[in-house]
Structure 1
Amino acid sequence: MACRISELVIDVADPERLAAFWSKVLGYVELGREDDGSIQIGPPDAGFGGPQPTLVLSASSDPRPGKLPLHIDVNATDRDQDAELERLLALGARPADVGQTGAESWHVLADPEGNEFCLLRTRLQPL
């Protein structure tokens, strides 16, 4: 028997803003809210426990933007990398410089609070 990742918890200053951003990026919906202000988002059809992990945007007065010990990589499912990059930038992502050479096959971006994530080149099949 093995474990699988069911949730990723991210400390953020503004759960509303980040839940809206990541819901649009991933095609997720709000699944729930906690009394502490955290918001859980996940796949619209499966919710918690489905094949994709849910995200919990946890309110924190001390979020650490920038280079996190863990970051999210995303892949487009219905368009090429350039089109997806345009979409993510329109949603509020911005380019981030972590010392890339320019020869990478991925783009390093930051969400609206400055948390870095990568847009990879490979187009995945939707679940």
Structure 2
Amino acid sequence: MACRISELVIDCADPERLAAFWSEVLGYVELGREEDGSIEIGPPGVGFGGPQPTLVLSPTSDPRTGKLPLHLDVNATDRDQDAELRRLLALGAEPADVGQTGSESWHVLADPEGNEFCLLRARIQPARVSSSRRPSG
């Protein structure tokens, strides 16, 4: 059996702000808070351990230096790429330049703290929660 990604942790200066932003982008809800100020968000009605990973926004005062070695890719589920781009920009995303040529089929954006992510062209189906589980063994 293999592992799967259950949560992604993003260090940030303002967990409240990023939790609100990413909740709107992904249709997630707040799942919990830790004493250290971390906020976990995830799919409504599913939470941790579901088919999609949750995000943990973890407070840090360490300054970010350089381009992130990892970024998120997102796809619209109910609109075309242009409409989704307008929505993400209205939520506070900003165009980011990471050296793209301009001929890419995706848009590079940054969240309110400058973390890069890409909006891909393809529209995908929303995640569905299956009530049946594959038997173990």
Shorter-chain TM-score category? Answer: over 0.9
Residues 25-73 of structure 1 deviation map (CA, whole Å, 9 limit, x = unaligned): 0000000000000000000021100000000000000142662111100
Q: Corresponding residue for 2:38?
A: 38
Q: Which runs of 5+ in 1 are unaligned?
A: none
Please give the root-mean-square deviation of Cα atoms over the aligned residues, in Å. Answer: 1.0
Post-superposition shift, 1:97?
Answer: 0.6
Partner Cα distance (2:90, 2:102) in 1? 22
- Name stretches of at least 5 consecutive residues in structure 2 with no aligned partner: 128-137
In structure 1, C-alpha distance between the alignment counterparts of 2:105 and 2:63, rounded to whole Å: 29
Q: Tell me the residue number matched to 2:25.
A: 25
What is aligned with 1:60?
Answer: 60
2:134 alignment counterpart: none
Matched, 1:121 2:113: no
TM-score normalised to structure 1 length: 0.97
Identity %: 87
Q: Which stretches of structure 1, 4 residues or more, deviate above 4 A after TM superposition?
A: none
In structure 1, how many angstroms separate the alpha carbons of the residues matched to 2:56 and 2:119? Answer: 20
CA distance in 2, matches of 1:66, 1:46: 34
Counterpart residue number, 2:7 = 7
Secondary structure of 1:17 counterpart:
helix
User: Amino acid of the residue matched to residue 18 of structure 2?
Assistant: L
- Indicate if the aligned counterparts of 1:9 and 1:55 stay in contact, CA closer than 8 A: yes
Amino acid at match of 1:7: E
Choose 1 or 2 for highest CA Rg: 2
2:133 paired residue number: none
Partner of 1:16: 16
Contact 1:108/1:119 (<8 A) preserved: yes
Provide, for residues 67-101 of structure 1, a one-character-per-residue CA deviation record: whole Å limited to 9, x for no partner: 21111000000000000000000000000011111
Answering whether residue 87 of structure 2 is matched by residue 96 of structure 1, we say no
